[in-house]
A and B are shown apart, each in its own frame.
Chain A
Amino acid sequence: MLGSAAASASDPPELPSVASMKLALALHAPPKVHGAATFTEMKLCANHQSRPFWLLPDGRVILDSSSTFYKEACEFLVAISEPVCRTRFLQEYQLTHFSLYAGASMGLKTEEILGQLRKFSKLSVPIEVVTMVEECTARYGKVKLVLQKDRLYVECQDPEILEQLIRDPVLSSFRVIRQPEIETDETHALAEEANADSATAMDENYLEAARLATNEDEEGTGRMINFEVDVSKVKEVKERCSRDINWPLLEEYDFRSDTSNAEVPIELKSDTQIREYQSKALSRMFSNHRARSGIIVLPCGAGKTLVGIVAATTVKRSCLVLCNSSVSVEQWYAQFRMWTSIDEQHITKFTANNKEMPHPDACVLISTYNMISFSGHRSVEAEAIMQDIRGREWGLLLMDEVHVVPAATFLTCTTRTRSRCKLGLTATLVREDGKIEDLNFLIGPKLYEANWLELQANGYIATVSCAEVWCEMTPEFYREYLKASKAHQRLLYAMNPNKFRSCEYLIRFHEARGDKVIVFSDNVFALKKYAVKMGRPMIFGATSQNERMLWLQEFKAGGRYNTIFISKVGDTSIDIPEANVIIQIASHFGARRQEAQRLGRILRPKANAVEGFNAFFYTLISRDTQEMYYSTKRQQFLVDQGYAFKVITKLADMESSSDLSYSSREEQMELLSQVMSENAADIAAHELAEDDATQDLERRSGSGGMTAGKSVASRNKRSMSDLSGGSGLAYNEMSKKPKPAIFRERERMLKAANKARNSASIADNFL
């Protein structure tokens, strides 16, 4: 039990002493520690030693993992709060409005939550927290958002609440006022009688009618009164209700009693094993036999897909799966076929290459975000499918990797499809742009978040050794660094010869061990330099789909190339389960998500553990540069999940391996002059182009409407002028630039690879 320093109940009493009293009396109260929140006045509860957590007035909860009630308390906290850090001995959670809504949406009542808090907290529950819990949970579930035949209604039982909502200036602006149609609802009939000219007058009558209606219905059998809101403003409506006026909207789908939508013939195969945390996550989604929208957070490799599939088999209504790349579409398709009994007629893919009409009654349809949100001209077949998607009422909308999708794309996807329930899946709910909150309104609250360390301890994900390797800048590089522009600085710290040597050393070390290494670089110039110099394949934005497939197959097959260089296009959309080592040489500023996402590439459990570790994650940092600062920031998320980043200032016996590149000063100087001759505008273009390419890749595979010819033409027009080289034409155009050597080298490598694989058809694409 923790807290042994404090006297426990069975301990002998304190000794009375006159002498030490003298000293204690002379002491002042010690000064308050500046900057710290001091809660020393709070009362400790009886038996506080055996209680598992401290609950503070600002909603922070500190949980003791050595407590006998740890498991119970932890489950409770995960349901009602956000995990802040989950380290080994003490963990921190934060109560927020959203987390409490999420808790309430799972059916937890105000008194239950307060009761549990009182039971578990070592400190008496602060009044601030009581108020917060009451505010958040008591109002939850009173107002519902209901989708009915194309239209979206805000519904509630209490006319006073409804009145408040209707009078809200923001909400009323989203209201849709139709000429009353034939409604079964009595209130509408009454409203019709009022026959008002203006909307306001109608409101008054409407409310009056509603009041009348409920008064007549004293028994309160739960008659609902409602008003319609604009479907396209769903996010704003939710935002307004949940955040501003504190009436969180309840969205539940009672799929068992849904008779209007046909069932999909889908069953989970009987031999499917669902892990404990997966079923826990699902139980959060499906408690009390209804499905609720929300997000499930599981690390990569922990079986997110299966969770989505089980959700689909539970709802058993038409299900639309959205992923962020066509590669993922294929993976989802294969997984659906693998785990469930669904037949080919009922599951279809909708991508640039697959345009089958979905089954007319009920189906599972897998597509990409870009396919759905595409705003250009579509081909006839694509348009027909799109019509079908828009027209259908989806039982479940499954959204993969929700954190990477731009908010606008997302909004388009959710407004174009009508779904009764939405499930978002992701590995990391962190975004540097603060857009996470949007997800809350677009999808729903976070339903479950797995504990990485626990999964690791149980062997569900690989045990990763994380290290940050500090590489001294060479004096020449550092001198230039100090006076260079921002863009050049980034190039200089990526190209630091010592970093290059460290990278080379690590690759050799791990290849010799039989590991599979992915080197990540966000900087394309550096990526090319490294890959070509070391004679390893590379994949970046401008690499064609065919070439990608070729290199990935080579890499997976092993033998020739056990290392592959990938730009940020590989962060999410490329699946390489074989890899177990990652070396980052350049990364995107301080993006915590990218760091976690990349780590996820090697999280699939591997067998060959060495000293307890079976995967390795290195980040190479040029010392005394901006990189140091970014790196600390990037690691924050993983560090809070309990990962430890070891700093390596010197790689053992690297100095003795004299055959590493750039050992001599002459070579280093030549490299420096190459770096410095890069023009700043080009570097910026590189960076932009790569950002584009990350998106473009999806667009290309997703732009369903374009004919094949058009698609190529548009790509050539973009042409990535200075970085492509993917087509002979582009190569000629830019041959005046000092880069041919790179491409000759690349072609040579490609040729060799192709010869080996005897696949002339693929080679045609880029030779």
Chain B
Amino acid sequence: MAASLLEYLRGLSPIALSRLYSDPHTCQAVLRALPPLSRQYLLRLVGAHGRLAAEIVGAWPLPTAAAALEHKAALEQLVALRLVELDPVGREYALHAGLCEQIGSSICLARGAQAAEARLAADEARPSVVQLERHAQRTWEDVLQCVLTPPRRLLPLAGCGGKSTLQQLLLSLRLLEATGAEGAEGAEGVEGAAARWASTRAARRFVLLPIQEQVWRLMLEYMELTDTVQPGARDATLSFLMRLGSHAVGSDCSVHSLTELQRQVLSDLLLFGIAYQREESSPRFYATPLAHALLSGSAGLATSRRSEGFLILETNFKLYAHTSSPLWAQVIRSFARVEYVLPNLVVSSISREAIRDAVESGIEWDMIVQFLERNAHPLMAANVPVLPETVVNQVSLWAQESSRMQLADAQFYDKFESIELFDDVVQYAKDDGVYLWHKRDQQHVGHSALIVAAHGHQRMKAFLKSKK
């Protein structure tokens, strides 16, 4: 699965990409999302009116092995995204048709694609970046809460024309599973019906993932789901996401410039915290940092402000979470024993039993460690390494405990008629490579016993038959 939008684009067909690149927002978004060197190369090509001889391009890197590798990767990225093409004889690099003009004009226009937006009246109550980030984080926590404790009331998705729900989306992501026969019932929004979904093991893993990966997985599935209900929705969503990503966080966009389909998608993005709109009737909306994270994966978050960590892990295996969100107590419970839940603190301790339970429920220990590291409190972040080494070490040892022993099926034979027969059979098993263990007892032949691997049973049976 693609880990970011950029990677996802690499997997699209040339036709689909051509369609996307015809949109100035997409072009600008892709340009922003590119790794620095690739971006630099692309701009050089724009400056050269879209065409450059391969020799010139080849002379760009410094004559070191590392530089050559970077150069190759940067070009490879551009080619894979079909932004740049090398002619069949390998003599000239050419920019994708139309791209040169799109990018060139957006650079010249200084404010880029945003200048093309319909003019809006001055924004009096513009939210700050910090506010948007908090909003996005809290809204996304609500989504995660839905993943862990699915609400009974159905939450329709506008992008599907109301024909599908958030629960459906989570269901197809295998984060929820239907329980009970009521799943078939059509009455939407009925409270009081027994819970129809339960969260799955995958859900407990999902909540430990980095937030941008969670959002991206959800959006990928969202595009699939909406496209099946309303053909064309995938492209609409994709270009809309591109457009959101091309805006600086906190700058406003006009609702009026959106197509009908995009407006529907917008209302879902508001639900996920990827975009923000003050009221349903507001003429403007804003991109949140989540939209940027989507575009470039983890690289995108490095440029945006790193979200504040809240976890403190001590050397005595105590884990303290500075949070007022009830969600985290639930998440932490999947790998630690929660002792206290306070209004703004969750106290828990990591133990051998808790880790063993976590491993049994399909959570890998390094997932836990990464989760702890990613969300480490600034006080901890100053440490090198961030987490206490001894705890990480011990967690890995606990986790590996359960995988030290493997069970395999085997076949047990006893009550042999003679010791000679027994010896023959043991020899056969050894020759056949299925032998595991034997106990030879000459006085009480009946007590002699042999164990072979289960897959050897058929051949052993045949051999025993032939001996009779």
Contacts and interface: CB of A to CB of B under 8 A. Distances in A.
A391 to B, nearest CB: 50
B344 A6 contact: yes
Nearest to B311: A5
Interface residues of A, number: 62
Interface stretch (A8-16, A177-185, A355-363): A8-16
Contacts of A639: 315-317
A35 interface: yes
Given A6-B344, A44-B343, A644 B390 contact: yes
B142 A56 contact: no
A2 B323 contact: no
B203 to A, nearest CB: 14
Given A5-B308, A33-B329, A90-B314, A16 B278 contact: yes
Interface in B89-132: 127-128, 130-132
Interface stretch (A24-32, A98-106, A210-218, A368-376): A24-32
A24 to B, nearest CB: 5
B324 interface: yes
A689 B155 CA distance: 74
Centre residue among B148, B278, B341 by max chain A CB count within 10 A: B341
Given A19-B271, A22-B271, A646 B322 contact: no
Given A23-B142, A23-B155, A4 B316 contact: no
Contacts of B333: 33-34, 36
Contacts of A31: 149, 330
A646 B343 contact: no
A62 B347 contact: yes
B151 interface: yes
Contacts of B155: 22-23, 26
Contacts of B217: none
B322 A14 contact: no
Contact of B330 (A6, A17, A33): A33
A122 interface: yes
B224 to A, nearest CB: 21
A48 B324 CA distance: 13
B135 interface: yes
A26 B146 CA distance: 9
A427 B441 CA distance: 60
A23 B169 CA distance: 14
B229 interface: no
A44 B326 CA distance: 16
A88 B330 CA distance: 25
B340 A7 contact: no
A642 B310 contact: no
Contacts of A39: 340-343
B390 A30 contact: no
B342 A40 contact: yes
B343 A37 contact: no
Given A4-B310, A4-B377, A647-B397, A40 B326 contact: yes
A54 B345 CA distance: 9
B344 to A, nearest CB: 5
Centre residue among A18, A35, A48 by max chain B CB count within 10 A: A18
Interface in B288-316: 308-310, 312, 314-316
A66 B273 CA distance: 33
A56 B342 CA distance: 9
| Interface size range on B against A | 35 or more
A56 B326 contact: no
B3 to A, nearest CB: 26
A647 B339 contact: no
Given A644-B388, A647-B390, A36 B339 contact: yes
B226 interface: no
Given A11-B130, A89-B380, A30 B271 contact: no
A19 B281 CA distance: 12
A234 B143 CA distance: 64
A33 to B, nearest CB: 5
A36 B152 CA distance: 25
Given A20-B271, A90-B320, A36 B130 contact: no
Nearest to B266: A19
B399 interface: no
Contacts of B151: 26-28
Contacts of B317: 639
A23 B390 contact: no
Given A39-B342, A48-B344, A56-B340, A6 B130 contact: no
Contacts of A44: 343-344
A6 B344 CA distance: 7
B338 interface: yes
A28 B191 CA distance: 11
Interface in A511-562: none
B84 interface: no
B316 A85 contact: yes
B264 interface: no
A37 B270 contact: no
B279 interface: yes
A62 B333 CA distance: 20
Nearest to B375: A5
A23 B271 contact: yes
A48 B345 CA distance: 12
B327 interface: yes
Contacts of B132: 15
Contact of A37 (B135, B166, B322, B340): B340
Contact of B322 (A3, A12, A632): A3
Nearest to A89: B312
A42 interface: yes
B278 to A, nearest CB: 7
B326 A29 contact: yes
A123 interface: yes
A649 interface: yes
Contacts of A632: 352
Contacts of A23: 139, 142-143, 146, 155, 166, 271
Given A33-B333, A37-B339, A647-B393, A88 B326 contact: no
A681 B323 CA distance: 58
B87 interface: no
A642 B312 contact: no
A645 B390 contact: yes
Contacts of B345: 3, 54, 62
B430 interface: no
B389 A38 contact: no
Contact of A15 (B276, B315, B347, B390): B276
A661 B133 CA distance: 62
A438 to B, nearest CB: 27
Given A33-B330, A644-B390, A20 B135 contact: yes
Interface in B405-448: none
A682 B413 CA distance: 42
A327 B315 CA distance: 37
B337 interface: yes
Contacts of B205: none
Given A17-B270, A18-B280, A28-B149, A36 B310 contact: no
A236 interface: no
B153 interface: yes
Given A27-B151, A39-B343, A87-B318, A20 B138 contact: yes
Contacts of A510: none
A366 to B, nearest CB: 38
A40 B326 CA distance: 9
Nearest to A629: B352
A122 B149 contact: no
A31 B379 CA distance: 31
A228 interface: no
Centre residue among A2, A26, A41, A647 by max chain B CB count within 10 A: A26
18 contacts: A2-B377, A19-B280, A26-B155, A27-B142, A28-B152, A36-B348, A37-B340, A40-B343, A44-B343, A56-B342, A60-B340, A62-B345, A62-B347, A85-B316, A85-B318, A87-B314, A89-B314, A649-B397
Q: Which 5 pairs across A and B sit closest by C-beta, in order of nearness? A: A19-B270, A5-B310, A87-B314, A36-B338, A644-B315
